[in-house]
Structure 1
């Protein structure tokens, strides 16, 4: 009887692992195939409204919701350990104080993370390696600020078996990206960030599309007075997906999370239907997922 129970438990665990791997493979395939049939959801710093930002628990809750990509930030300690942290100092998000590059990991590990209300929690600052192992097979990871330590990051990806689970973004030129990351781009998905308010924005887009054929662009613009975003769905159709951030109003012409709370069709809906967004990064992942599911635009 005990043997049967153990076999059953083993089968359940194996099935869960296969499902997780399949889920990541499906998200990656949607990106690589420039699939426009649904909208991919990226959660900014994990689900930080319910757990401390950049914590393992914030990543876990995003996974439970059904988020496709979680954005996390990297910093490096004095002794060379990569940790999940947005700020160069630990003051805002932990119970400690000091500049990360001047602190050892052991000293940071003794602190507690704070939540969005600046209250101490039981949670601790994770290393990048811990986060990669924790999220392996469960969700795509967008590593912000990772290009500063790319070789070290890539070694950790190889060590943890997560090389095909990673998205990186940046503002470097196509030539510089290929020079710095060349062979790594077979595994790691790189998305250029283009500010559409700059005079050379369209030139940048054309050059990236010609030289790198990126799976997607992260696009930024401050207001609807800029008409360039309206022309891009047609221009990029079948070539690259469009990623917009709804974190605050100046990132996507005012069509942000706050506008979407008042009227999701004017916020998220406008980005999707008029501007062709198929990846949206949000600070309100559950709200966005509910909206997308009501329109059959997300599983």
Structure 2
């Protein structure tokens, strides 16, 4: 009788273990599927210029709660529900790509001098500073580390990397994140972009920066990009709100491109900035929406997300 009892118990344990394994496999498959669905939905939204949703881009990630351009700030943006993180790329003395906004280390790290004068190993000994200037425990990430963290979770805007994008593209291929990347460039003709990027344009999204203060022929430039390259978005910069381009956003979207603005500081947006939105978000973010903007880069992602959700726009 004992023999049969032991056999029965053994069978039950075996069934239980098998059931747990199947549940874990289903759970893991569900997580992978959710990630794929998430990034595919974001890519679909990016490619749909006339969609009702407004995409939120976190400037240097969530730097109010973590050091700017840190892995922790990126992870916080992902948890918050941001659609895209903006990160700045720099190159070390030994030819590695890292995430750092300034040419120098002084403001954001415990080091000093040019990033390009330091090797990657030496940079990894430094600590990132918080927005208050206080050193933290966090380290300078490499581009590969940043892309690996963001893979399948969020769109990625690479800034300050045009001149060495060939190298950045290889890192993107290695990490499987090319389709998540939005590259931007200023003062480049369509022909220059096609020559510089070639077949890379088949997988990444290129976004021209249009400065309404400096480019009097902005509408012609926009038309050239939409006609010859069919770009998915334009970043529009303006210090005054008098340009006729600001009233053409609907036409730009109907022709196939999203409209990106920066709510960071007044020289980029004629005073329609995040700090003013704290007092009255509708007077700032609402103004953008009325104009037809559907991508906003912000220093206050949580504030913007809450506002958009209240308007059923995110």
Q: Same fold (TM over 0.5)?
A: yes
Describe the SS at the equivalent of 2:137. coil
Equivalent residue in structure 1 for 2:146, among 131, 146, 160: 131
Deviation at 1:99, TM superposition (A): 0.9
Corresponding residue number in structure 2 for 1:267: 284
Corresponding residue number in structure 2 for 1:219: 236
1:277 aligns with 2:307: no
1:28 aligns with 2:28: no
Structure 2: stretches of 5+ with no match in the other structure: 1-15
Describe the SS at the equivalent of 1:293. helix
Corresponding residue number in structure 2 for 1:92: 107
1:5 aligns with 2:20: yes
Describe the SS at the equivalent of 1:262. coil
1:188 aligns with 2:211: no
Describe the SS at the equivalent of 1:141. strand
Corresponding residue number in structure 1 for 2:271: 254
Describe the SS at the equivalent of 2:144. helix
Deviation at 1:272, TM superposition (A): 0.9
Deviation at 1:120, TM superposition (A): 0.9
Describe the SS at the equivalent of 1:75. strand
Corresponding residue number in structure 2 for 1:202: 219
Decide which structure has the larger Cα Rg and report it. 2
1:103 aligns with 2:128: no
Corresponding residue number in structure 2 for 1:39: 54
- Judged with a 3 Å threshold, the aligned counterparts in structure 2 of structure 1 residues 117 and 223 are, in CA distance, closer, same or farther, namely same
How many residue pairs get matched?
297
Deviation at 1:213, TM superposition (A): 1.3
CA RMSD, Structure 1 to Structure 2 (Å): 1.4
Corresponding residue number in structure 1 for 2:189: 173
**What TM-score, normalized by structure 1, do the two folds share?**
0.95
Moved more, 157-166 or 5-14: 5-14
Moved more, 200-209 or 64-73: 200-209
Describe the SS at the equivalent of 1:90. coil
Superposition misfits of 4+ residues, deviation over 6 angstroms: none
Deviation at 1:239, TM superposition (A): 1.9
**What TM-score, normalized by structure 2, do the two folds share?**
0.91
Write out per-residue CA displacement over residues 202-234 of structure 1, whole angstroms, 9 at most, x where no aligned residue: 221121122111111000111223333113323
Supply the distance in 1 between the matched residues of 2:202 and 2:104 (Cα, whole angstroms): 34
Structure 1: stretches of 5+ with no match in the other structure: none
Supply the distance in 2 between the matched residues of 1:26 and 1:227 (Cα, whole angstroms): 33
Deviation at 1:31, TM superposition (A): 1.4
Contact kept? 1:223, 1:253, Cα under 8 Å? yes
